[in-house]
């Protein structure tokens, strides 16, 4: 018998919980929100009108980063890793090691990103406040994506991340291509969101709850009792529709069509934001959904399994099986199509867009391995999530580096066509070496960070094979991943070929791009970690292992 409901106690409980538990763990997001307000206020006050919005944004992000770093550091390393898990705001959000890690990645990226955009000068003084408010707003949504524990929150977070992105895509106001990109993005996004919302409501309707761990318990009951015909069917349909929404955010095939167009139309700076931060958040959300729905809640430290027995919870195996197939299939197709489509590109941003698509495929391979090993081997699951988390960490530098170079070159060459880069090595060897490091890292060759990421993802696939989890499927993924690495060589290398082998165009009047300059320093600062994490990756791996702990 429940104690009689007392509005007063309920309210007090809720307030204490919010103040004592939720808000302290929500500090990074609060910093972002406060910075957005500050940015907008600065515009209105005549005294602060001339404040540099990049500095304001950087300051706010710095605070957030500091809190996120403290949160990650205070996670118990080793020992009981689930002890750090907390449900915030009555279960709408969840705080655990994955939240902490992904938040740190997003905020760390944001700090680098603000510095880079300030230097590359795409938001001019006029637009600065708008631009940074939009970027921070989208990032706030992305942080929430990584922490979503409730499908309402999930939808809100996705929308919050998407809507500012649509506006960002149209940032270059005078350019037709930019407006077209924004419109295309918005229309695609709205469609995908609609489908996802429909799927979510189907699932919530059948399962009777919106709280992900509780949904898992209900799902187990449905699966355990067996199909009553319609229920499972509707649930699968709902799941697939949810997958559509996630695939859109991940730019996974066949929901990737927006990606090259938007990247080509929008400024390189916006492409960098969409390809890194948005991807990190989407992958985290995919992990959230997959593990939220597919892993027995009891093992995630939720005590109330609503009376579901262990046998009932074991029935979630079928759910995972279904999810592995969806994710793995999408990963294989995404990776292959992304790499093949990148061949014919003549525009560097379009090429990087397809490269982003391909890398989403590699990331999803890691997610597939993680889901496959859930319930089979705990260390294996953890390793796979670690691999994905590590990949995200290095991807920040690889892709931000690539886009930064594109932006810097655009500023001096006035072009983003690959052919415009011809013979660049003659005049600016430094930038070509930086580009080589980034692209070779994207291919995945040692001793660069991209190799380690790929190595970890492949090793989690092999671990899944060795432990007998979804073996044939994982073997297929491994082969597909290996072949893709080889075919991706062509288009990345072609860029380097143009930069080094080809003679420079006769009509280029280009002052050599010195590496000893502010943009040069930014590029160097972004590229050095690509080499550093390729040689000494113990530290980043340890941090990623914390993220992996969420699944064990």
Partner 1 sequence: MDPAASLTQPALWPLTAIVFLPALVAAVLSLPIVPRGRDEFIRWTTLLTTAVVFVLSVWMAWPQLFGAAGPAQFRLGEPGMQAVVKLPWIEAFGIEYLLGVDGISLPLVVLTTFLSMLAAAASWPITKHVKAYHVLFLLLETGMLGVFVSLDFFLFYVFWEVMLLPMYFLIGIWGGPRREYAAIKFFLYTLLGSVLMLLAILMLYFTSDLRQLSPEQLLASHVVSPALDAGVQADAVRSIKDARAPVHTFNLLALAQIGQLPDSPFAAARVWGMSLEKWAFLLLLVGFVIKVPVVPVHTWLPDAHVEAPTPISMILAGILLKLGGYGILRICYPVCPGAGLDFAWLVCGLGVVSMVYGAFAALAQKDFKRMVAYSSVSHMGYVMLGLGVWSAVAGQEYRWDAWAQGVNGAMFQMLAHGISSAGMFFMVGVLYDRVHHRNLEEFGGIFNRMPVYSGLAIAVFFAGLGLPGLCGFIGEVLVTLSSWNYSRVLAVASAFTVILTAAYILWAIQRVYLGAEYKGPHGDHLTPITPRELSIAAPLVFLAILFGVAPQILFNYVTPTVNRQVETLADWTKRVHDAPAAAPAVAKVGADSAAR
Tell me if 123 sits within 8 A of 179, measured CB to CB: no
Give min distance, CB of 542 to partner 1, in A: 7
Please report, for residues 19, 113, 131, the alpha-carbon distance to residue 121 in angstroms, rounded to integers and kept in the order given: 40, 12, 11
Q: What angle do CA 502, 505, 506 make, to 5 degrees?
A: 130
Tell me if 119 sits within 8 A of 56, measured CB to CB: no
Binding status of residue 537 toward partner 1 by CB under 8 A: yes
Residue in 190, 493, 528, 531 binding partner 1, rule: CB under 8 A: 493
Residue in 31, 436, 522, 530 binding partner 1, rule: CB under 8 A: 436
Q: Find residue 211's DSSP bridge partners.
A: 150
Q: 3-state SS string over 35-86? A: HHHHHHHHHHCCCCCCCCHHHHHHHHHHHHHHHHHHHHHCCCCCCCHHHHCE
- Using the minimum distance from each CB to partner 1, give the nearer residue, 62 or 532: 532
- Using the minimum distance from each CB to partner 1, give the nearer residue, 35 or 485: 485
What distance in Å separates the CA atoms of residue 248 and residue 255, rounded to the nearest whole number? 5
Dihedral over alpha carbons 281, 286, 289, 294 (to 10 degrees)? -150
Rg, Å, the chain Cα set: 23
Tell me if 457 sits within 8 A of 365, measured CB to CB: yes
Residue in 98, 241, 440, 469 binding partner 1, rule: CB under 8 A: 440
Segment contacting partner 1 (CB under 8 A): 217-225, 270-278, 295-303, 493-501? 493-501
Quick one: tokens of 478?
A: 């491994």
Quick one: tokens of 451?
A: 């190799």
Binding status of residue 503 toward partner 1 by CB under 8 A: no
Look at the chain and count its residues. Answer: 552
- Using the minimum distance from each CB to partner 1, give the nearer residue, 24 or 525: 525
What distance in Å separates the CA atoms of residue 338 and residue 482, rounded to the nearest whole number? 14
Quick one: tokens of 252?
A: 């996974």
The closest of 200, 203, 283, 280 to 246, measured between CA atoms, is 283
- Using the minimum distance from each CB to partner 1, give the nearer residue, 312 or 460: 460
DSSP state of 93: E
Give min distance, CB of 495 to partner 1, in A: 13
- Using the minimum distance from each CB to partner 1, give the nearer residue, 312 or 441: 441
Binding status of residue 545 toward partner 1 by CB under 8 A: yes
- Contact pattern for partner 1 over residues 111 through 130, marking x by CB under 8 A: --------------------
Footprint on residues 159-198 left by partner 1 (CB under 8 A):
none
Q: Which residue has the tokens 């880079």?
A: 116
For 530, phi then psi, to 5°, come to -60, -40
Tell me if 282 sits within 8 A of 250, measured CB to CB: yes
Binding status of residue 528 toward partner 1 by CB under 8 A: no
Residue in 12, 19, 121, 501 binding partner 1, rule: CB under 8 A: 501
Give min distance, CB of 445 to partner 1, in A: 5
Give min distance, CB of 459 to partner 1, in A: 5
Binding status of residue 500 toward partner 1 by CB under 8 A: yes
Segment contacting partner 1 (CB under 8 A): 63-71, 308-316, 401-409, 492-500? 492-500
- Using the minimum distance from each CB to partner 1, give the nearer residue, 411 or 459: 459
Segment contacting partner 1 (CB under 8 A): 16-24, 140-148, 151-159, 446-454? 446-454
The closest of 224, 57, 28 to 128, measured between CA atoms, is 57
Binding status of residue 427 toward partner 1 by CB under 8 A: no
Q: Which residue has the tokens 């997001």?
A: 29
What distance in Å separates the CA atoms of residue 142 and residue 530, rounded to the nearest whole number? 24
Footprint on residues 460-489 left by partner 1 (CB under 8 A):
462-463, 465-466, 475, 478, 482-483, 485-486, 489
Interface size with partner 1, residues (CB under 8 A): 37
Binding status of residue 490 toward partner 1 by CB under 8 A: yes
- Using the minimum distance from each CB to partner 1, give the nearer residue, 49 or 497: 497
Binding status of residue 451 toward partner 1 by CB under 8 A: yes
Tell me if 533 sits within 8 A of 441, measured CB to CB: no
Binding status of residue 15 toward partner 1 by CB under 8 A: no
Residue in 459, 476, 525, 532 binding partner 1, rule: CB under 8 A: 459
- Using the minimum distance from each CB to partner 1, give the nearer residue, 310 or 479: 479
Give min distance, CB of 325 to partner 1, in A: 19
Please report, for residues 97, 193, 349, the alpha-carbon distance to residue 354 in angstroms, rounded to integers and kept in the order given: 31, 22, 9
What distance in Å separates the CA atoms of residue 113 and residue 535, rounded to the nearest whole number? 24
Residue in 6, 309, 379, 419 binding partner 1, rule: CB under 8 A: 379
Give min distance, CB of 294 to partner 1, in A: 24
Give min distance, CB of 506 to partner 1, in A: 19
HSE-up of residue 502 (Cα within 13 Å, Cβ side): 18
- Using the minimum distance from each CB to partner 1, give the nearer residue, 9 or 517: 517
Angle between the N-to-C axes of helices 128-147 and 268-294, in degrees from 0 to 180, rounded to the nearest 10? 20
Binding status of residue 429 toward partner 1 by CB under 8 A: yes
Q: Please state the separation of Cα 290 from the chain's center in Å.
A: 15
Give min distance, CB of 497 to partner 1, in A: 7
Q: Find residue 94's DSSP bridge partners.
A: 87
Tell me if 434 sits within 8 A of 524, measured CB to CB: yes
Residue in 24, 191, 423, 446 binding partner 1, rule: CB under 8 A: 446
Give min distance, CB of 270 to partner 1, in A: 31
Interface contacts to partner 1, rule CB under 8 A: 379, 425, 429-430, 433, 436, 440, 445-447, 451, 455, 458-459, 462-463, 465-466, 475, 478, 482-483, 485-486, 489-490, 493, 497, 500-501, 515-516, 537-538, 541-542, 545
């Amino acid at each position: 018998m429940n104690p009689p409901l007392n509005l007063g106690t309920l309210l007090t409980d809720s307030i204490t919980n919010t103040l004592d538990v939720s808000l302290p763990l929500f500090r990074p997001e609060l910093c972002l929100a406060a910075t957005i307000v500050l940015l907008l206020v600065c515009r209105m006050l005549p005294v602060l009108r001339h404040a540099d919005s990049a500095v304001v944004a950087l300051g706010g992000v710095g605070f957030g980063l500091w809190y996120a770093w403290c949160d990650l550091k205070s996670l118990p390393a080793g020992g009981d890793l689930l002890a750090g898990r907390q449900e915030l705001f009555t279960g709408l959000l969840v705080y655990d090691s994955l939240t902490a890690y992904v938040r740190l990645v997003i905020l760390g990226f944001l700090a680098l990103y603000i510095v880079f955009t300030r230097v590359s000068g795409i938001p001019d003084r006029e637009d600065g406040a708008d631009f940074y408010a939009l970027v921070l707003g989208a990032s706030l949504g992305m942080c929430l994506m990584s922490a979503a524990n409730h499908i309402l929150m999930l939808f809100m977070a996705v929308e919050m991340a998407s809507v500012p992105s649509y506006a960002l895509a149209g940032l270059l106001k005078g350019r037709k291509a930019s407006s077209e990109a924004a419109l295309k993005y918005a229309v695609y996004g709205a469609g995908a969101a609609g489908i996802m919302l429909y799927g979510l409501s189907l699932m919530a309707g059948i399962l009777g709850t919106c709280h992900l761990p509780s949904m898992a318990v209900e799902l187990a009951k449905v699966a355990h009792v067996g199909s009553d015909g319609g229920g499972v069917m509707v649930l699968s349909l709902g799941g697939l529709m949810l997958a559509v929404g996630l695939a859109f955010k991940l730019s996974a095939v066949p929901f990737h069509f927006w990606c090259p167009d938007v990247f080509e139309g929008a400024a390189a700076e916006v492409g960098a934001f969409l390809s890194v931060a948005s991807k990190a958040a989407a992958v985290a959300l995919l992990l959230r959904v997959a593990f939220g729905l597919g892993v027995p809640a009891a093992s995630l430290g939720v005590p109330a399994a609503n009376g579901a027995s262990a046998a009932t919870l074991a029935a979630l195996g079928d759910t995972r099986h279904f999810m592995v197939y969806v994710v793995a299939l999408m990963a294989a197709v995404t990776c292959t199509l992304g790499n093949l489509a990148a061949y014919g590109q003549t525009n560097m941003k379009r090429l990087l867009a397809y490269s982003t698509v391909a890398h989403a495929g590699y990331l999803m391979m890691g997610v597939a391995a993680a889901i496959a090993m859930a319930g089979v081997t705990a260390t294996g699951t953890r390793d796979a999530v670690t691999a994905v988390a590590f990949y995200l960490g290095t991807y920040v530098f690889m892709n931000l580096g690539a886009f930064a170079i594109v932006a810097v070159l655009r500023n001096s060459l006035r072009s983003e066509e690959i052919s415009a880069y011809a013979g660049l090595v003659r005049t600016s060897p430094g930038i070509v070496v930086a580009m080589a490091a980034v692209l070779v890292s994207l291919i995945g060759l040692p001793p660069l960070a991209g190799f380690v990421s790929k190595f970890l993802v492949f090793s989690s696939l092999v671990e899944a094979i060795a432990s007998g989890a979804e073996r044939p499927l994982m073997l297929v993924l491994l082969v597909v991943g290996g072949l893709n690495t080889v075919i991706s060589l062509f288009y990345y290398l072609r860029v380097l070929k143009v930069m080094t082998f080809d003679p420079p165009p006769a009509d280029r009047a280009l002052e050599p791009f010195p590496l000893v300059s502010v943009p040069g320093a930014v590029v160097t600062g972004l590229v050095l970690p690509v080499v550093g994490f390729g040689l000494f990756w113990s530290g980043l791996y340890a941090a990623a292992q914390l993220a992996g702990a969420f699944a064990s």
